[in-house]
Amino acid sequence: MSNVLVTGGAGFIGSHMCLALLESCHDVIVIDNLSNSCLEPLKRVEKLAQKSLIFIECDIRNDQKLRQIFKDHSIDAVIHFAGLKAVGESQRFPLSYFEHNIAGSISLFKAMEQANVFNIVFSSSATVYGENNRSPYHENMPANTPYNNYAFTKLMTEQMLEKLALADQRWSIALLRYFNPIGAHQSGQIGEDPRGKPYNLIPHLTQVAIGKREKLSIYGNDYNTPDGTCVRDYIHVVDLAAAHLHALDNRLKTNGCRTWNIGTGQGHSVLEIKETFEKVNRLDIPFEYAPRRVGDLPAYFADNERAMRELKWQPQFQLEDMLKDSWNWQRQNPMGFK
Ligand code: NAD
Ligand code: UFG
């Protein structure tokens, strides 16, 4: 059992993480500026776990407040989710991405160092592999050509953490490269609740299913893939949270910096996602083919052997489960957390 500080803990992945931590008998302190979330998921997490957590509204760019939080609380490890995550937006507002994702991370690492806290699990992304690697992506492949500003911020933060571990052996760092997290907790109480028009495929799909949007646009059907639509590796958010628990455990025992891909190793096309969603939930999803979305790569999926071997973690959920759970969340919460 340890005291874990979760940055961005009110968000989609963060809230599932908080639940997994509480259920594994850890104590949890969440810091979040609520720019893309609200308090409701944390209230529901406490109810589900029958245990309370500490919430502090704080922007990770606020050095002073961060330092105070580390002084006021005894913290063993940090799981760092806070940041901005929309690829398209990162092309329009690069400075904002550099500020939240890079400068914010530097503030956090400084506060950790000052407080002698050296264990961290960082939310990185498969986008760091860029366009020059062929799937399945392996952790040893060169990640040096990020194809958008969001990926650039993840790569920069990974590289900073690698250098910190080289400079000071007290650091113990897990870089988790997520593939595409979807699904929701089986209770249907917490899930993905994007603000405004959803950017990602699954919230778009479920909002069409609930009648909030007219039809799904599939971006591009002329890719060099089996059915012409893009292929991705979708991972259940509950499996993803479990991977963090394993990484945390691993890092509390070993020093240095290590990277793990967190995906299922299976690629599925956009069309396959739509058709499987329809089948498992017995629904029809109106759709249209739309032009390719700028910045999309045709296909990628993970080699997850290292995570399975070293972290002794294994994804438990199939695509069908993920799509049932995504719909269960949306159906029970047509307006999200409102
Ligand atoms: P999310 O937007 O739901 O959660 C992020 C949380 O961080 C939100 O609650 C937001 O309010 C908070 N936040 C943002 N900027 C902050 C700041 N400066 N200070 C304090 N809090 C701040 O996103 P998510 O899907 O849960 O993603 C969590 C992490 O995982 C992000 O770092 C994201 O880049 C990474 N990631 C996500 C995906 C994905 O597809 N969802 C894939 C790969 C990596
Ligand atoms: N797509 C559609 N219609 C939509 C939304 C998406 O056809 O309405 C397609 C996209 O073109 C893409 C696929 O569905 O081919 C998946 O798109 P998402 O936006 O759901 O996810 P991305 O693969 O673009 O990126 C996601 C996260 C990133 C993360 C990455 C890691 O948004 O933050 O996964 O693989 F880094």
Could you read off the pLDDT of 116-127 as tens digits, one per residue? 999 999 999 999
Sequence-distant contacts of 110-115: CB under 8 A, at least 24 apart: 110/63, 110/66, 111/63, 111/66, 111/67, 111/69, 111/70, 112/70, 112/78, 113/168, 114/67, 114/70, 115/67, 115/70, 115/71, 115/75
State yes or no: pLDDT of 195 exceeds 90: no
Read off the pLDDT of each residue in 64-77 and give the average, rounded to a whole number.
Answer: 98
Of all protein residues, the one whose alpha carbon is nearest to atom 1 of ligand 2 is 201
Whether the pLDDT of residue 87 is over 90: the answer is: no
With tokens 């910096």, the residue in question is 257
Ligand 2 touching residue 201 (CB < 6 A)? yes
Please, is 51 exposed, middle or buried when counting C-beta atoms within 10 Å of its C-beta (0-12, 13-18, 19+)?
middle
14 Cα nearest atom in ligand 1: 26
Q: Is the pLDDT score of 294 beyond 90?
A: no
Active site residue 137: no
pLDDT at 253 over 90: no
**Residue closest by Cα to atom 11 of ligand 2:** 219
Of the candidates 137, 150, 223, 300, the residue annotated as catalytic is 150
> What is the pLDDT, as a whole number, of residue 291?
97
The arithmetic mean of pLDDT across residues 301-320, rounded, is 98
Task: Name residue 20's amino acid.
Answer: A
C-beta of 90 in contact with ligand 2 (< 6 A) = no
Q: What is the pLDDT of residue 29?
A: 98
What does the domain layout of the chain look like in residue ranges? Answer: 3-183+235-264
Q: How confident is the model at residue 196 (pLDDT cuts 50, 70, 90)?
A: confident
Average pLDDT of the residues in 217-227: 97
| pLDDT score, position 1 | 76
> What tokens does 310 get?
């070293």
Collapsed DSSP state (helix, strand, coil) of residue 87: helix
pLDDT, residue 247, reads 98
Buried b / exposed e along 100-117 (16+ C-beta atoms within 10 A): bbbebbebbbebbeebeb
**DSSP H/E element including 124:** strand 119-125
- Ligand approaching nearest to the C-alpha of 175: 1
- For ligand 1, the distance from its centroid to the CA atom of residue 254, given in whole angstroms, is 26
Side chain identity at residue 261, one-letter code: N
Mean predicted confidence (pLDDT) in 35-50: 98
Nearest ligand 1 atom, CA 101: 18
Q: What is the mean pLDDT of residues 239-256?
A: 95
152 lines ligand 2 (CB under 6 A): no
Q: 3-183+235-264 domain in CATH 3.40.50.720?
A: yes
Confirm or reject: Cβ of 16 under 6 Å from ligand 2.
no
Region 142-157: mean pLDDT is: 93
